[in-house]
Structure formats: C-alpha cells, structure tokens
Amino acid sequence: MIKIDDLYFKPFLSAQEIAAAIDNLAYQINRDLAGENPIFLGILNGSFMVLADLTRKFSHDCEVSFLKAKSYEGTSSTGVVSLGDELDVNLKDRTVVIVEDIVDSGLTISTLSRKLQQHQPKELKIATLFLKPEVYNQELKIDYVGKNIEDKFVVGYGMDYNNLGRNLPELYVQTERMKNIVLFGPPGAGKGTQATRLKDKYGLVHISTGDVFRYNIKNGTELGTLAKSYMDKGNLVPDEVTIKMLKAEVEKTPDAEGFIFDGFPRTDAQAKALDELLASKGTEIAGMVALEVDDEVLVERLLERGKDSGRADDANEGVIRDRISVYYKQTAPLKNYYAAQNKYYGVDGVGEMDAITERLSTEFDKL
C-alpha cells in the first residue's frame, strides 16, 4: 500500500500488464491506420506516458501533438471540461487519433471530439489506454481501448491524484486506509473472544500471538518448544522470537484490510518493531483499544476457562496471579506508548459479551 497526499492506494496493474494493454492498443491502431500518416493528439497531462509508449509501437509514419484538457478535481469529475490552448497543427482532411490515458464518464472526450470535428478532419478516432465501461455514458464510439477496468479511481502511469503519482510506472487503485488495531488488556479480559467477533464484523485479520505460539508448540516446532519454556512459567516469550513470527503472519495476507493484533505488542520494543514493520508496508497502527477488567474478575474467569480449555497456564491460581502481575509490571506500561500518540482507547470489559462488543465497535468505528 502507498499513501499519496491524504489517500491510500494499493497495487492494481503491474508495468508488464500496462505494457500488454499498450500492445493491444498499438496492435489495433497499426492494423487500421497504416499508410494514413495519422496525427496522434495526446490529451494532457495524463496521456504523456501512453503517447510516448504507443507511438513507439506504431510502425508507420505519424505526427504527434498535444492538447490540454481538465475535468477532474481530486478523485471525481467536476462535470465541466476546461480546454487549454489552441492546436498547433492543422487537422483539416487528416486522420486524427485522440489519445487518452483513461476515459471515465466520457465527458472530456466527447466535448473534445465535438470541438475537434469543427476542424474538419478526414477521420477522428478515439483511443484510450483504459476505459471504465460501467460509468461511460456518452453516445460517442470509442474506437480503440487498451483495457477495460472497473469503476475505481486509479493513479500512476501518467494519471494523478492532486497532481501526484503520475511518475509511478505501475497503476494503483484507491483503497481504504488499513485498520490496524492493537487489542489490549490483561489475561482473561476477553480479547480472544472479542477479536473473533470484531474480525468478522470489520473484515480484519486476527493475529493472536498466543494462538500462533500454541500452534507451534502443538506441532513441536523449534520456535514452539522455545516459547513453551517461557509460557509455562507465566513469563513472556523474548521479543526477537515473537517479532519474527509476527512478521511472517502479517506477510501471509498481503491483501488484508487490516489486522487485529491480540497479545502483541507487549513491550515498547515490540511496539517499535511493529511500527517499523507496518511503516515498511505503508501503513500504521490506528489505535490501541484496551479492555479494562478488575483483577478478581480476571482470576475467576481464567479459572473457569482452565476447566475446559486444558491450557496449563489457566489451571492454577498461582500461575494466573503471576501472569496478571507480569502484565501490570511489563505490559500495562505500553498503554503510555500509544497514549503519547493519542492512540489509546479504554473500554469497560465487564458485562454482557454483546454489550462489550458494542463498546469496542464504537471505538473501532472511530479508527
């Protein structure tokens, strides 16, 4: 994911895929216009890359010129097409190909086409690298299309968002900002249960470090055996082991709309490592949402869970109290890390499960 100005974009078409669309366009035009000595008229600013690549694939004589037009502000059409300076070529009795980077509603191209018809060309052809057929609503026939795309705002390969992104060799499509949330709270606060509900509700990927460790332990991996020795004593697994594992988990779902981190980070060092990991992917933590639950309620809940979960660390009250006190000593201070960035949101974690989900949702909606 990349950020351009205030919006987020994700990869959409690779440079190779764009080249294939150019080849497609060039093939059709070569087939139709050999011997016509056409004038390729690029519509600025967006079409400069298309024109450069397309004309290099045109194997016959041709001329090249440009015209400036604008109908977009930000990510939507203004509905008004403004045209720039007049033409510097004589179009009369010539075969003219208007070259667009992208045709959306078709307003720009049809306004231009009407205007250029007044110059009495022999033929006026329309070529666009990309067309959004779902929103194209003009009578005018588009003669050549490199590739149809869905109705999403794209940027790159000449196309811009607020004048940025034109230089990108690939095409990117607008996307929501990733919702990456740290779900926080002492052992027994209900993070796992709530994370399962919230991940479905918000379409997020839930990464529970505890679950990943238990999976590794069950399968006797090297990492699992190492982690087990710490977990059984109610201690934390060392940062480097946890971070390595987490990175692998995040990379398993590159298309995720966001992650709920549950059981991670637990220390400032881990939080910094997580920030670096997310920054390398063009995203960040939106907030830490913490379930606040009284100690005695936690002990009671964990003893209850230990009866059927079979988790060694839930069965014994001494171990439970140790885990809670490790949490307050080592983990709870992490709250300050996020609070300092105005990213801490506390939620009352006592009550009916549905009510707690509602309270958490209220915070999730804000992020």
The residues annotated with a catalytic role in the active site are 191, 266, 305, 311, 323
- Judged by CB under 6 A, does residue 103 bind ligand IMP? yes
| Residue 197 assigned to a binding site | no
* Distance of alpha carbon 121 from alpha carbon 127, whole angstroms: 16
- Which helix (H) or strand (E) segment is 81 a member of? strand 76-83
| Residue 190 assigned to a binding site | yes
* Distance of alpha carbon 122 from alpha carbon 91, whole angstroms: 8
Contact between residue 125 and residue 116 where contact means Cβ atoms under 8 Å apart: no
| Residue 283 assigned to a binding site | no
Q: How many other CB atoms are found less than 10 A from the CB of residue 21?
A: 21
* Distance of alpha carbon 231 from alpha carbon 323, whole angstroms: 9
Residue from 24, 77, 196, 316 touching ligand IMP (CB under 6 A): that is 77
Q: Which is nearer to ligand IMP, 16 or 163 (CB)?
A: 163
Three-state SS annotation for 287-322: EEEEEECCHHHHHHHHHHHHHHHCCHHHHCHHHHHH
Q: Which is nearer to ligand IMP, 82 or 362 (CB)?
A: 82
Burial class (CB in 10 A: 0-12, 13-18, 19+), 318: exposed
Contact between residue 256 and residue 178 where contact means Cβ atoms under 8 Å apart: yes
Tokens 């996020």 belong to: 338
How many residues of this chain bind ligand IMP (CB under 6 A)? 19
Shortest separation between residue 324's beta carbon and ligand IMP, angstroms? 52
Residues 131-160 that bind ligand IMP (CB under 6 A): 153-155, 159
| Residue 174 assigned to a binding site | no
* Distance of alpha carbon 275 from alpha carbon 272, whole angstroms: 5
* Distance of alpha carbon 196 from alpha carbon 204, whole angstroms: 10
Task: Extract the tokens encoding 207.
Answer: 């990464």
Q: Which is nearer to ligand IMP, 70 or 214 (CB)?
A: 70
Q: Which is nearer to ligand IMP, 107 or 298 (CB)?
A: 107
| Residue 191 assigned to a binding site | yes
Residues 37-66 that bind ligand IMP (CB under 6 A): 43, 46
| Residue 342 assigned to a binding site | no
Could you tell me which residues are beta bridge partners of residue 67? 43
Shortest separation between residue 102's beta carbon and ligand IMP, angstroms? 5
- Judged by CB under 6 A, does residue 105 bind ligand IMP? yes
Stretch that binds ligand IMP, among 10-18, 106-114, 306-314, 337-345 (CB under 6 A): 106-114
Q: Which is nearer to ligand IMP, 72 or 184 (CB)?
A: 72
Q: Which one-letter amino acid corresponds to residue 293?
A: V
Q: Which is nearer to ligand IMP, 103 or 124 (CB)?
A: 103
| Residue 185 assigned to a binding site | no
3-state secondary structure of 53: helix
- Judged by CB under 6 A, does residue 71 bind ligand IMP? yes
Residue from 40, 72, 184, 338 touching ligand IMP (CB under 6 A): that is 72
- Judged by CB under 6 A, does residue 108 bind ligand IMP? yes
Q: How many other CB atoms are found less than 10 A from the CB of residue 224?
A: 18
Binding-site members for AMP are: 209, 214, 235-237, 263-266, 270, 311, 323
Binding-site members for ATP are: 188-193, 305, 351
Q: Under the rule (CB under 6 A), what is the footprint of ligand IMP?
A: 43, 46, 71-72, 77, 100-109, 153-155, 159
